[in-house]
Homo-oligomer: A and B are copies of this chain.
Amino acid sequence: MSELRWDPLKQHWVIIATDRGRRPRDFQVEPETGTLTNCPFCYGNEDKTPPEIFAIRPDGEPNQANWRVRVIPNKFPALRIEGDLRTRGYGPYDVMEGIGAHEVIIETPDHDRQLADLSLPEITDVLIAYRTRILDLRGDPRFRYLVLFKNHGKRAGSPISHSHSQLIAVPLTPPVAATELRVCQEFYEAKERCIFCDVVQFEIAEGTRVVREFGNFVTVTPYASCFPFELRLYPKRHSYDFALLSDAELMELAQALKDMLCRVKSVLRDPPYNFILHTAPPRQQRLGKPEYWGSIEYDYHWHIELVPRLTQIAGFEWGTGFYINPTSPEDAAVFLREVELDFV
């Protein structure tokens, strides 16, 4: 059973995932990585995972080989699908059961190819799997926010080297999303514009932090980057919900995403990285309160955020929430722009 616990001093919820029960010695060994023969994400090992939720395969039965993208429940989920959403008090704290969903998107059957290495049709398939699972999980009214993210490399938190992403549905709006959703709505109420549209237009006009434009997409190094070589990928035209993109739009996004991943891989020699998709929650789930539902189509702007894991989060950053970045985003953009790519 996992549990959500509220810290009244820090004002945040934490997931205590005791199912994963880590003892001191578990932190002293490197986690095992799969090999071609025993990796549960490889062809032929479909029975080593829980039954699939979704797959893209030309034909054939579920849970057999011959798939291109496969989505399964996480075998050690941080949150479970069954349980009770009510919170209860415990001394000065609050606690609730750890309700949610935790899925793994296996991006390719090939053990040795990472997302950046896949072809454009293959990356488009991955994006279609993202869209499909997001639309499905939105049907559960208990989930208030969906977090789609990828950890690449051990130092970015991925013990399994076979390329995959994750989708976690949570029963409350996480703090980073809550701030973003509130800022967008307040800006819209004051100015009747999308704040992200302002930022994107300013960055394109300014140019010093633009890494690449690709049709309707632009990749920039954020002005107030917390980490060296941080990147954001925005649609240029206003678009609030990733899950509403057409297949043609996902094909264009696949190009922009592959371009971003290949530049990072080239400049920083295949660093560990994390990326996360920020997209609008279903309007009636926005911050859980009707007063926030109104304008989400107009005020929010979906995007992807990527951070290469080059530096350690040290005492200062963790203790203050205040980041020190040793590489200016303008310098990072110069290095990232210089890469010559030949895939398109």
Chain A residues close to B by CB (< 8 Å): 5-18, 20-24, 27-28, 78, 90-93, 145, 147, 149-151, 154-158, 166, 168, 170, 174-177, 179-180, 183-184, 195-196, 198-199, 202, 206, 222-226, 228-229, 267-269, 271, 274-276, 278, 305, 307, 309-316, 318-329, 331, 335
Q: What 9 pairs between A and B have smallest CB-CB spacing?
A: A157-B314, A276-B319, A274-B315, A174-B320, A149-B315, A175-B321, A7-B224, A5-B224, A20-B326
Q: When the two chains form the complex, which single residue of B16, B168, B269, B319 contacts A176, counting CB atoms closer than 8 Å?
A: B319
Smallest distance from the beta carbon of A263 to chain B beta carbons, Å?
11
Smallest distance from the beta carbon of A105 to chain B beta carbons, Å?
13
Residue pairs across A and B with Cβ atoms less than 8 A apart, 24 shown, are A9-B180, A11-B179, A12-B224, A12-B322, A14-B226, A15-B324, A16-B325, A21-B328, A21-B331, A27-B268, A91-B199, A92-B195, A92-B199, A92-B202, A145-B320, A151-B314, A155-B312, A157-B316, A174-B321, A176-B319, A176-B320, A274-B315, A276-B320, A305-B319
> Is B199 in contact with A9, judged by CB distance below 8 angstroms?
yes
Q: A12-B322, A15-B323, A276-B318 are in contact. List 17 more A-B contacts (CB 8 A).
A: A7-B224, A9-B183, A14-B322, A15-B322, A15-B324, A16-B225, A22-B326, A24-B268, A24-B335, A27-B228, A92-B198, A168-B316, A174-B320, A174-B322, A175-B320, A175-B321, A278-B319
Residues of chain B within 8 A of A93, CB atoms compared? 223-224
> Is A275 in contact with B315, judged by CB distance below 8 angstroms?
yes
Residues of chain B within 8 A of A170, CB atoms compared? 320, 322
> Is A310 in contact with B206, judged by CB distance below 8 angstroms?
no
> Is B10 in contact with A315, judged by CB distance below 8 angstroms?
no
> Is A14 in contact with B323, judged by CB distance below 8 angstroms?
yes
Smallest distance from the beta carbon of A177 to chain B beta carbons, Å?
6
**Cα–Cα, bound, A229→B78 (Å):** 18
**Cα–Cα, bound, A12→B328 (Å):** 16
**Cα–Cα, bound, A151→B154 (Å):** 22
Q: When the two chains form the complex, which single residue of B13, B90, B269, B325 contacts A322, counting CB atoms closer than 8 Å?
A: B13
Q: Evaluate whether A331 and B5 lie within 8 angstroms (CB atoms) in the complex, with A176-B320, A202-B92, A319-B274 already known.
A: no
Residues of chain B within 8 A of A154, CB atoms compared? 312
**Cα–Cα, bound, A100→B253 (Å):** 42
Residues of chain B within 8 A of A6, CB atoms compared? 224
> Is B274 in contact with A314, judged by CB distance below 8 angstroms?
yes
Residues of chain B within 8 A of A202, CB atoms compared? 91-92
> Is B179 in contact with A10, judged by CB distance below 8 angstroms?
yes
Q: Evaluate whether A5 and B223 lie within 8 angstroms (CB atoms) in the complex, with A24-B335, A310-B27, A315-B274 already known.
A: yes
Smallest distance from the beta carbon of A156 to chain B beta carbons, Å?
6
> Is A316 in contact with B14, judged by CB distance below 8 angstroms?
no
Residues of chain B within 8 A of A331, CB atoms compared? 18, 21, 23
Residues of chain B within 8 A of A184, CB atoms compared? 9
Residues of chain B within 8 A of A92, CB atoms compared? 195, 198-199, 202
